Structure 1
Amino acid sequence: MPAPALDMLDVALLEALHEHPRTGLQEIARIVGVARATATARLQRLERAGIVSGFGPEIDVTAAGFGVQAFVTLEIAQGALEEVHRELAAIPGILEAHATTGSGDVICRVAASSHESLQQILVQLNRSASVVRSTSVVALSCVVPWRTLPLLRSEAAPGSGRSPSSR
């Protein structure tokens, strides 16, 4: 099933939730300028579609003591993606991993409390029989943090998303 097209009301609701994460839905509806029932129905639709996937706190791993971060590209043995998936999931310092195109097969975002801890993670990765080669680069600073709202805003269907009778 294709993802539903987002309109400006959906984006406004997501922006309000992003800017006021601890605010109740009644207040979010007031901020956006719609009825609570409208905001509730829209949010439920976004959740069912998987667009909104959680309401947990955003965690800053640097502030939590894991200030050494790196990106590690792995070249893996032919047909070993499932095994690598299990191995990567077992390493707590792997924040995320993506299968990729290009010279590497998987790219991992890694966080560690120190350079020594990062080295231990890299050694653990290289001990895997599924990993043929790894290349790592240490992140010095974050230039653009993870974000989604600019993308959603740029592609939102014009109009408020309300039915023609409510305009």
Structure 2
Amino acid sequence: MPDEIDLAIIKQLNRDARIKVSHLAQLVHLTAPAVAARIQRLEDAGIITRYTVEVDLDKLGFPRQVFIQVAVQDRQHAAYLALVKRHHNDFRHHYRTTGQFDYLLEGAFQDRHVLTSFLQTLGTLATYEVIDVIDDI
């Protein structure tokens, strides 16, 4: 079970996955070898599963950022999952959820035409609600 120091390490890594261990050690008041050992333990335990990069989707050419809540029609789950797999480059995250909707997609599209095309196909398999992202705060 992670302790307060582990949580502080995770918080700093979440802010900057490229932070130097020596700097991280200063922030959590431990030695660099102690921090490196804790990070290794967190990785081995599966608590830290990967290190990622945040990108500016607008500058990358994907200005249409949306969340799509999806309620899949009976017996259409396999077709839905195949559709999402075909469009995997358009989605940052894909969650199975509880409540009125079965899934939540976080996506970014090059333009409204690409989004519209995806939604037209999705509409044959599911009902959905699109939430446009208007700003990242």
> Is TM-score (shorter-chain normalized) higher than 0.5?
yes
Q: CA deviation at 1:99?
A: 1.7
Residue in structure 2 matched with residue 67 of structure 1 by the alignment: 63
* Greater helix proportion: 2
Sort the Cα spacing of 1:12 and 1:100 in 2 relative to 1 into closer, same or farther, 3 A.
Answer: closer
Residue in structure 1 matched with residue 102 of structure 2 by the alignment: 105
Residue in structure 1 matched with residue 43 of structure 2 by the alignment: 47
RCO comparison, higher one (Cα < 8 Å, 6+): 1
Q: Which runs of 4+ in 1 moved over 6 A?
A: none
Paired with 1:135 and 1:18, the residues of 2 have a C-alpha distance of 30
Asked if the contact 2:73/2:127 (under 8 Å) is kept, the reply is no
- Look up the SS of the partner of 2:36 in the other structure: helix
Q: Which amino acid aligns with 1:142?
A: D
- Aligned-CA RMSD value: 2.3
Asked if the contact 2:80/2:122 (under 8 Å) is kept, the reply is no
Paired with 2:16 and 2:122, the residues of 1 have a C-alpha distance of 39
- Greater radius of gyration (CA): 1
Residue in structure 2 matched with residue 126 of structure 1 by the alignment: 123
Q: State the identity as a percent.
A: 22
Q: CA deviation at 1:107?
A: 1.8
Q: TM-score, normalised by structure 1?
A: 0.68
Paired with 1:41 and 1:68, the residues of 2 have a C-alpha distance of 41
2:131 is aligned with 1:137: yes
Q: TM-score, normalised by structure 2?
A: 0.80
Asked if the contact 1:16/1:32 (under 8 Å) is kept, the reply is no
Paired with 2:98 and 2:17, the residues of 1 have a C-alpha distance of 36
Q: Which amino acid aligns with 1:115?
A: R
- Look up the SS of the partner of 1:123 in the other structure: helix
Q: CA deviation at 1:39?
A: 0.7
Sort the Cα spacing of 1:86 and 1:60 in 2 relative to 1 into closer, same or farther, 3 A.
Answer: same
Paired with 1:102 and 1:31, the residues of 2 have a C-alpha distance of 41
Q: What is the CA deviation profile of residues 37-77 of structure 1, one whole-angstrom value per residue up to 9, with x for unaligned ones?
A: 21112101211222222223222323322111122222213
